[in-house]
């Protein structure tokens, strides 16, 4: 598989919502992608096609399982604001890496985001 540039989205953007958990940091600067948090949320929402196609149950699950799919990634850091978010992360990791079909679909979606 070729080299894939991975876009990093600001914390929480993979929820696909601008809404922030009550104890989350109220303002989040972009990490390395869009000029602001709202742009990162819109980009994440475009990746929802992975969920719609049945490759994952949520964007958060897809992100965690993507990281598990890459041999070059040895650690996945997950931020959380609630016990439910920790449980979602653990359940997502337990499902293992994304399938080859999901990874191929993701590459198509990335090309659309460029």
In a domain, 11, yes or no: no
In a domain, 4, yes or no: no
Q: What local confidence, expressed as pLDDT, does residue 31 receive? A: 58
Containing structural domain, residue 75: 34-113
In a domain, 47, yes or no: yes
Backbone angles phi, psi at 33, to 5 degrees: -125, -90
In a domain, 2, yes or no: no
For residues 98 and 55, what is the distance between their CA atoms, to the nearest angstrom?
A: 7
Q: What is the pLDDT of residues 14-52, one digit of tens each?
A: 666 667 667 666 666 655 566 777 777 788 888 889 999
Query: Do residues 62 and 56 lie in contact, with contact meaning Cβ atoms separated by under 8 Å?
Result: yes
In a domain, 96, yes or no: yes
In a domain, 50, yes or no: yes
Q: How far is CA 36 from the centre of its chain?
A: 17
Percent of the chain clearing pLDDT 70 (strictly above): 69
pTM of the model: 0.74
In a domain, 59, yes or no: yes
Domain count, the chain: 1
């Amino acid at each position: 598989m070729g080299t894939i540039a991975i876009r990093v989205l600001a914390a929480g953007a993979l929820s696909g919502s601008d809404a922030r958990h009550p104890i989350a940091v109220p303002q989040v600067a972009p990490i390395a992608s869009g000029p602001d948090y709202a742009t990162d949320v819109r980009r994440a929402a475009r990746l929802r096609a992975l969920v719609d196609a049945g490759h994952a149950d949520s964007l958060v699950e897809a992100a965690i399982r993507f990281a598990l799919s890459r041999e070059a990634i040895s650690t996945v850091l997950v931020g959380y604001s609630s016990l439910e978010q920790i449980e979602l992360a653990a359940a997502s990791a337990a499902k293992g890496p994304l399938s080859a079909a999901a990874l191929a679909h993701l590459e198509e979606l990335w090309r659309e985001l460029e």
